[in-house]
Amino acid sequence: MTKHRIYTTSVASVYVHYVAKAERKGRTKAEVDEIIRWLTG
């Protein structure tokens, strides 16, 4: 059984996309960092 792509994707590779989307919606990089810290503990 092959692994799904989500299991081999690093956080670093999607982080820039999260920041870009947040900035498009009027949020800041600091807010993205805060949410990621909250989610990951």
Neighbours of 36 (CB within 10 A): 12
pLDDT beyond 90 at 1: no
Structural domain span for residue 24: 13-40
The total number of structural domains in the chain stands at 1
Is 6 within the bounds of a domain? no
User: Number of helices and strands (H, E) in the chain?
Assistant: 3, 0
Both tokens of 16, joined, read 């820039």
Is 27 within the bounds of a domain? yes
Residue 31 near residue 22 (C-beta atoms within 8 A): yes
Is 7 within the bounds of a domain? no
- pLDDT value at residue 26: 98
The pTM of the full predicted model, rounded to 2 decimals, is 0.73
| pLDDT level of residue 2 (50, 70, 90 thresholds) | confident
- Most distant CA pair in the chain: distance in Å? 41
**Model pLDDT for residues 16-31, shown as the tens digit of each residue:** 999 999 999 999 999 9
